[in-house]
Amino acid sequence: MSAIASHTSGVPNGVDKKLDIVVVGGSLGGLCTGLALKSLGHAVTILERNPTALLHNQGAGIVAGGDTLTFFKRYDRCGRQLAVSSQRRQYLDKEGKIVHREDMVQNMTSWDLVYYMLRANFDGVKSPYCNVPELREGDGVAKHLHGHRVTGITEKNGRVEVAYTTNEGKEGTITADFVVGADGPSSTLRSILQPNVERKYAGYVALRGTVPEDQVSPPTLEAFSERFTFFHTRGIQILAYLIPGENGTLEPGKRLVNFVYYTNFPSKSLDDPSLELAELMTDMDGERHRITMPPGKTDPKAWEKQRQIAKECLPPQFAEIVCGTKKPFVQAITDVISTQNEFLDGKVVLIGDALAGFRPHTVASTSQAAFDAMILADMIAGKVSRKEWKRETMAYARTIQKRGVDMGNRSQFGDLPLKEHIHDRNLASRPREEEIWPEWSIADID
């Protein structure tokens, strides 16, 4: 039996040797992939372009969907809880009264807790967030190299050579049997392999932030404690829920209220922004950011405008947390999707946001990363066929990416009755296992 079993493609489906694998990107998607493949005994090297050894806290809440929870059940050995539980979904009117509610259990976590749990499991990074598991017999060697920006990729003697430049300007290459692109919606690897695929601005942004739960009024805490709460009006959608607090604590009184506040900022593009968008994306030091304004960098004058709009347009509970956040950040909403997920005869694949950047409305970005990592590992181990892996990965990417575009455009640019927003939100919460992929999403997969 050869190292690549029973298929002309270079995708390693059922292997009898341990592979040298490079994962490009060291955020959540790259770490999920690295951990899953390390657990099969393969040697995994993550190349992360960020100059620091640890990615900075993104200040973001995450809805931990079914695939995320399944991933951690399968691979996590830190021995701690991941999420805060929400028991009910509800919608408020402008005065802050509940106009619709339904029982629905969901789990909410934070980007930083997920990141540090993955690092503890992948390469033994110590942090106050969790214990580092003991090394396990059979695991592959795991390396995490920060400050390595990928600059090229070529097939060479049946393997793949990845070129990079370090933070210090040193150029080098690393050769692998298999390469996974997990470097996000602005993927360098995708831009090399598919230069015509563009990341495009959707016409609105998400204003984001957190407030400690012990710093909000009792009526506001009641609106968000064990609740996933929404408000819609023309051109605006805002939602909030509780997430873990400092160092991932789940202790009541020490958690954070996390909000995501979508509001329209018309502009031709991110590269030629309107005056209003340029003002919002220019930080306190005068530097303009293209897609994300980091936490704590927002210009106070620009944020004060948003605080005043929040007071005028939002229910009082939402206005309080928007006005109360100390380190807001801004995320321009964008769309991007690759036309395919494998390259160089299957020796290179894209996963997660590098394959398809979902709008946040789908609450599926982290779940996509977790699912893609799991099914890729199962395919390499021979538990699923190459065709099934490709079909499920691509159908998920295409279907949910389109759903996010539809949801966002309806929410931000339509004038929908509340029942339509509720319908869209419930559709986005449908478990992946219950999806029936539309024919257009799988028609070209052989």
Do 343 and 319 belong together in one domain? no
Residue 151 lies inside a defined structural domain of this protein: yes
Residue 440 lies inside a defined structural domain of this protein: no
What pLDDT shows up at residue 56? 80
Residue 277 lies inside a defined structural domain of this protein: yes
Tokens encoding 194: 């598919």
Do 45 and 188 belong together in one domain? yes
Last residue of a domain, one of 315, 334, 353: 334
Do 212 and 241 belong together in one domain? yes
Residue 308 lies inside a defined structural domain of this protein: yes
Last residue of a domain, one of 305, 334, 363: 334
Residue 145 lies inside a defined structural domain of this protein: yes
Residue 154 lies inside a defined structural domain of this protein: yes
What pLDDT shows up at residue 5? 34
Do 156 and 302 belong together in one domain? no
The mean per-residue pLDDT over the stretch 201-222 comes to 97
Last residue of a domain, one of 301, 334, 367: 334
Cα(421)–Cα(134) distance, integer angstroms: 46
Q: Which helix (H) or strand (E) holds 43?
A: strand 43-47
The mean per-residue pLDDT over the stretch 90-117 comes to 97
Do 93 and 151 belong together in one domain? no
Do 182 and 207 belong together in one domain? no
Do 68 and 119 belong together in one domain? yes
Cα(322)–Cα(146) distance, integer angstroms: 34
The mean per-residue pLDDT over the stretch 377-383 comes to 96
Output the domain CATH number for residue 357: 3.50.50.60
3-state secondary structure 306-324: HHHHHHHHCCHHHHHHHHH
Do 244 and 307 belong together in one domain? yes
Do 30 and 134 belong together in one domain? yes
What pLDDT shows up at residue 11? 75
Output the domain CATH number for residue 275: 3.30.9.60
The domain containing residue 39 runs over which residues?
A: 20-76+112-198+336-410
Domain count, the chain: 2
Decide if pLDDT at 10 tops 90: no
Grade residue 386 by pLDDT with cuts at 50, 70 and 90: very high
Tokens encoding 404: 């996010």
Cβ 117 vs Cβ 77: under 8 Å: no
